[in-house]
Amino acid sequence: MISRPKFMIDSQRISNRIRLNNALNYLFSLSTVFSILVLGVLLYQVGLDSMGWLDGQFLTSNLSIFPEKAGIYGAIIGTILMMLIVIPVTIILGVSTAIYLEEYAQKGRLQYLINVNISNLASVPSVIFGLLGLTVFGRLMNLGSSILAGGLTMSLLVLPIVVVAAQEAIRAVPDFLREASYAMGADKWTTVRKVILPVAIPGILTGTILAMSRAIGETAPLVVLGIPTLIMRIPTSVMDDFTVLPIQIYYWTLDAVLKPEYANLAAATIVVLLVILFLMNSVAVIIRNKFQQRF
């Protein structure tokens, strides 16, 4: 009989190590599955609560004291009007800032300062933007809780997202394109406008859409701005008071203590909000995949 080689004596230890490895592999995978599972439960619960409440009437009617007749038409219009301010303001501010930082700024103090400032701004809690909006737009500029005040507040909140995305997109434009443009005798602005921006647009667009979906879902700054509880009148201009989908969800969730039906209304509004966000994100992914240029 051949004697077992000495190193095989440790086989017990090795199998223990492997067993531990497998056990924790299982545990870690459970952790991952857990977070996905929560997403499933959340969607299922919201879907269940909204059952029977989400219909054409809900989308096209205004608020009502009777839950059965209440709808989110006002909130949809309010969301659209607010985005009509947020979109141009953030694109102009965000893309300009990115162009300045990437193309014009000299490497130095100022560029560093603006960059650090933007990354810090990105992590300032959104309620604080609400206080900024309340003070500057609401009181100092006398815009109250109008669509204009809300839109401007939201624009500042999501600005860092657009700037960072646009910076990355512009940085990804290869240098030889710039050099080719200069070699043809083009000046800097022409190069930016005709060479860099067209190449960077898919990246900028993707980032902008993500920023917009953040703006559509954000609640706290608008509540701080003092968006009123009940808007019975549909807003027609940017100076009107307004409400948006998340605010509607907020008040209906609070009201659910009084009448359980309000929870159903909140859930139905959540479904609408999530569908909008899902569609926006899909568009962002499609743009990213379709226009991704490789050099």
Q: Which of 5, 52, 108, 185 binds other proteins (CB under 8 A)?
A: 185
Q: Work out whether 58 is an interface residue with other proteins (CB under 8 A).
A: no
Least Å distance, CB 257 to other proteins, is 8
Q: Which of 188, 194, 233, 259 binds other proteins (CB under 8 A)?
A: 188
Instruction: Provide the b/e sequence for 147-171 (b: ≥16 CB within 10 Å).
Output: bbbbbbbbbbbbbbbbbbbbbbbbe
Q: Which of residues 85-104 bind other proteins (CB under 8 A)?
A: 92-93, 96-97, 99-101, 104
Binding window for other proteins (CB under 8 A); candidates: 1-9, 16-24, 61-69, 195-203: 16-24
- Residue 12: how many CB atoms within 10 A of its CB? 9
Which one, 147 or 191, has the nearer CB to other proteins? 191
Taking the CA atoms of 165, 102, 82 and 256 in sequence, report the sign of the dihedral they define: positive
Binding window for other proteins (CB under 8 A); candidates: 56-64, 69-77, 194-202, 274-282: 274-282
Q: Work out whether 218 is an interface residue with other proteins (CB under 8 A).
A: yes
Burial of 131 (0-12, 13-18, 19+ CB in 10 A): middle
Distance (Å, rounded) from C-alpha 22 to C-alpha 27?
Answer: 9
Least Å distance, CB 1 to other proteins, is 28
Q: Which of 51, 59, 124, 239 binds other proteins (CB under 8 A)?
A: 124
Distance (Å, rounded) from C-alpha 202 to C-alpha 293?
Answer: 9
Q: Work out whether 289 is an interface residue with other proteins (CB under 8 A).
A: no
Q: Work out whether 141 is an interface residue with other proteins (CB under 8 A).
A: no
146, β-bridge pairs: 241
CA atoms within 13 A on the CB side of 288: 13
| Token output for 257 | 């203590």
Tell me how far apart the 2 most distant CA atoms of the chain are, in Å: 97
DSSP single-letter state for residue 122: T
Q: Work out whether 204 is an interface residue with other proteins (CB under 8 A).
A: no
Q: Which of 72, 170, 195, 249 binds other proteins (CB under 8 A)?
A: 249
Q: Work out whether 8 is an interface residue with other proteins (CB under 8 A).
A: no
Binding window for other proteins (CB under 8 A); candidates: 57-65, 79-87, 234-242, 263-271: 263-271
Q: Which of residues 154-173 bind other proteins (CB under 8 A)?
A: 156, 159-160, 163
Q: Work out whether 18 is an interface residue with other proteins (CB under 8 A).
A: yes
What stretches of 51-108 show up as alpha helix (H) in DSSP? 56-60, 73-99
Least Å distance, CB 87 to other proteins, is 16
First to last CA, the chain: 66
The three-state secondary structure class of 150 is: helix
Q: Which x/- pattern, by CB under 8 A, does the window 101-120 give for other proteins?
A: x--xx-------xx--xxxx
